[in-house]
A and B are shown apart, each in its own frame.
Chain A
Amino acid sequence: MTWTDEELVARSIRGDSESFNELVLRWERPIYSLAYRTIGREEDARDVCQETFLRAFRGLPAFRGQAKFSSWLYRIALNLCRDWMRRQRRAPIVQAPEDVDLVELAAAREPSESIEDLVARNDLSKVVERAMARLPEEQRTAIILKEYHGLTFQEIADLLDCPLSTVKTRLYQGLSVLRKQLREAGVQGTFES
């Protein structure tokens, strides 16, 4: 039987550790991805992820279900990312190595993908990562939540405590700057509708 997040939260509060275990398993990767894309450091993203679940666990008794559990987790993780950036007083760091490790890459290859496509995709990934790291934090966060976590505009507004129109403005401006940077980096191509 598959429990909803909220049911698992209720069971965790009642002392069922396996339920919290299930929540961790369910959300560890999204939270890690959010942290990594926000701060750009693998190890620190893991720490943020760890701290997010620890705080969530500690805060479970106070969680009244006023928001979705996932939104609550996202909020904790984003606050931790902000704290991290404040402490570091710097923008996200791009860790992408200069050299391409073909062996490592091959492990991530899609069955139908040639090695040339794979290298190109990896290069594009680095370019996008660098371009994202240069965006202002607010625009970057809006893009991350929308593109990689599939939140609606309203959910992002609720999460960031800002008006709906602000979310759309940040997203639009972020995408505009991003596509300019990608063009300057030599990334071409448009998607015809």
Chain B
Amino acid sequence: MCNDPELILGYVYGELPEAERRGFDAHLATCAACRGEVAELRAARGHLAAWTPPEPDFGFQIVRGNSAPAARRWWPAPAWGLAAAAVLVLAAAAAIANVEVRYDADGLVVRTGWARDAAASQGASAAAGGVTQVATTPEAWRSQITAIDARLRDLERAATRDGVAPGTQLASGPRLSDAEIIRRVREMVGQSETRQQREFAMQIAQVLRDVDRARQLDFLQIRQTLGQHRAQTTSDVAKTLNYYVTRVSQEK
């Protein structure tokens, strides 16, 4: 049993079958080396427990409904939930529009087909309803965010028309109206957009730096080539002159 790491690990992590565990217990009673190894591994595990990651600050407040079914519920506001929430909001709100969200090798596809026949083929519905790829370019993101923002405005108008929905509140804090929640979501959309713009600007700056570097390299290369040509030309002229001088002197 000695020098069997798998057995020792299984024992330390409590993943040995009962019979094997009892057998190893009996072995430990007589083997100081294995006892020491087990103790060392447990010590390492104990030390590992001291490592705690920083408490994440996701920068959002969680919205929870009451135990009673809420008339309307909203997403929490985690940053990553934003795009997902937006797509879901669009999908749910446009359920009557027969919206389909699909993800495959082509990426995320949001397909809309007003009053589309469920049996209609994908190609036909794509042509009729339009297919929107959720792209990763800043422009595409921006247009999607704009669409989300427009949708939020619609929802806000609807919320104002319907009055405040009960049952939606912060986990710890006062109740918020739908309008307030929408305002916060819009703020997050704005933050997301700002971030996308910043990243885009950084990418542009990087491209400009790359172009500038390539340009400087090209100049350097041209200068070197010109120098070589100049040296070669001078040498050729000297040779030609020398040839003519020699011929003239021979003719004389």
Known contacts A25-B76, A172-B5: does B43 contact A15 (CB below 8 Å)?
no
Q: Which of A52, A128, A152 is packed against the most chain B CB atoms within 10 Å? A: A128
* B46 nearest in chain A by CB position: A191
B84-99 near A? 1/0 per residue, CB < 8 Å: 1101110110010000
A158 within 8 A of B: no
Q: Which of B53-61, B219-227, B240-248 interfaces with chain A?
A: B53-61
Given the known inter-chain contacts A17-B88, A58-B108, A125-B51, please indicate yes or no for A190 contacting B39, CB distance below 8 A: yes
Once A146-B13, A175-B44, A190-B43 are accepted as A-B contacts, the answer to whether A121 and B103 lie under 8 Å apart by CB is no
- Contact status B9-A187, CB under 8 Å: no
| Contact partner, A37, options B35, B51, B84, Cβ 8 Å | B51
Query: Which chain B residues lie closer than 8 Å to A113 at the CB level?
Result: none
User: Would you list which residues of chain A between 116 and 143 have a CB under 8 Å from chain B?
Assistant: 121, 124-125, 127-129, 132, 143
Across the two chains, which residue of chain B brings its CB closest to A17? B88
A28: chain B residues within 8 A (beta carbon): 56, 58, 78
Q: Tell me, in angstroms, the Cα distance from A37 to B58 when the chains sit together.
A: 17
Mark contacts of B8-40 with chain A using CB atoms, 8 A cut-off: 1 yes-contact digit, 0 otherwise.
111001010000000000001000000100111
Decide if B186 is an interface residue (CB 8 Å cutoff). no
Contact between B102 and A21, CB atoms less than 8 A apart: no
**Contact between B78 and A24, CB atoms less than 8 A apart:** yes
Q: Which of A49, A58, A168, A172 contacts B103 (CB 8 A)?
A: A58
Are A128 and B39 in touch, CB under 8 angstroms? no
State in angstroms the CA–CA spacing of A46 and B233 once bound together: 63
Report how many residues on chain B are interfacial, defined by Cβ distance under 8 Å.
Answer: 54
In this complex, what residue of B is CB-closest to A185?
B47
- Decide if B39 touches A17 in the complex (CB within 8 Å): no
Q: How far is the CA of A29 from the CA of B53 in the complex (A)?
A: 10
Option from B48, B62, B78 in Cβ contact (under 8 Å) with A147 = B48
CB distance from A53 to the nearest CB of B (A): 4
Q: In the bound complex, do residue B15 and residue A152 qualify as a contact, i.e. CB atoms below 8 Å apart?
A: yes
- Separation in Å of the B79 CB from the closest CB of chain A? 5
Q: Are B15 and A54 in contact (CB under 8 A)?
A: no
Would you call A62 and B47 a contact (CB within 8 A)? no
- Whether B50 lies near A124 (C-beta < 8 A) is yes
Measured between beta carbons, the chain A residues less than 8 angstroms from B39 are 190-193
CB distance from A28 to the nearest CB of B (A): 7
Chain B 69-91 per-residue mask, 1 if CB under 8 angstroms from chain A, else 0: 00001011011110111011101
> Do A191 and B42 have beta carbons less than 8 Å apart?
yes
In the complex the two chains form, is A49's CB within 8 Å of B80's CB?
A: yes
Cα A136 to Cα B75 in complex, Å, equals 39
Q: How far is the CB of A177 from chain B (nearest CB, A)?
A: 10
Pair B48/A171 contact, Cβ less than 8 Å? no
A114 within 8 A of B: no
* Closest B residue by C-beta to A173: B5
State the Cβ distance, A73 to closest chain B Cβ, in Å.
12
Asked if B121 is at the interface (CB within 8 A of a chain A CB), the reply is no
Given the contacts A179-B40, A193-B35, A24 and B76 also touching, CB distance less than 8 Å: yes
Assess whether A61 is interfacial by the CB under 8 Å rule: yes
Q: Which residues of B contact A57 (CB under 8 A)?
A: 84, 87-88
The 4 closest A-B pairs by CB, nearest first: A50-B80, A191-B42, A57-B84, A128-B51
A-B contact pairs, 20 of them (CB 8 A): A15-B95, A21-B73, A24-B81, A25-B62, A29-B56, A33-B53, A36-B56, A49-B56, A50-B78, A53-B84, A62-B104, A128-B48, A129-B51, A153-B15, A168-B9, A175-B41, A179-B47, A190-B40, A191-B46, A193-B39
Additional pairs, 18, CB under 8 Å, beyond known A15-B91, A46-B56, A53-B80: A17-B88, A28-B56, A28-B78, A54-B84, A57-B84, A58-B108, A60-B103, A61-B102, A108-B52, A124-B50, A128-B47, A128-B51, A132-B51, A153-B10, A178-B44, A189-B46, A191-B46, A192-B39
